[in-house]
Amino acid sequence: MMNIINFAMSFGKGEDMSHFVVKLLSDDDGVDYDKDQQVWHYSGESTGDPCVLCSGEYFGEGQSNCKFIEKRVKRGGITCKKCLRIIKEYKAIKL
């Protein structure tokens, strides 16, 4: 799983505060996910490579054989319940 420092560094990156979301269509072995499993995950970086927040699964050329769709959004766009729970937990931390 992506650690909190990598998450905090990658969340809201960019001048426009947009972020990437990704929908994984298949796993690394090429097995297609069911439609109900194809949700939009927060896409961050771990060790410089793209991965999803909730599972830490890597995706992208040279990283994995999984099929995916990625897009940049200004706000929201995340439908994965696990990613949303993790984001809420991080945002609840009072510094």
Is pTM beyond 0.75? Reply is: yes
> For the chain, what is the domain count?
1
Q: Domain of 67?
A: 4-91
Strands 68-73 and 49-52: unpaired
Type and span of the H or E element at 11: none
Report how far residue 24's alpha carbon sits from residue 52's, in angstroms, rounded to the nearest whole number: 9
Between the CA of residue 39 and those of 25, 43, 64, 70, 93, what are the distances in Å?
Answer: 9, 12, 18, 11, 26
Dihedrals phi, psi of 20, to nearest 5 degrees? -100, 145
CA distance 88 to 65: 30
Q: What is the pLDDT of residues 5-52, one digit of tens each?
A: 455 445 545 456 788 999 999 988 889 999 999 999 999 887 778 889
Question: What is the predicted pLDDT for the residue at 1?
Answer: 46
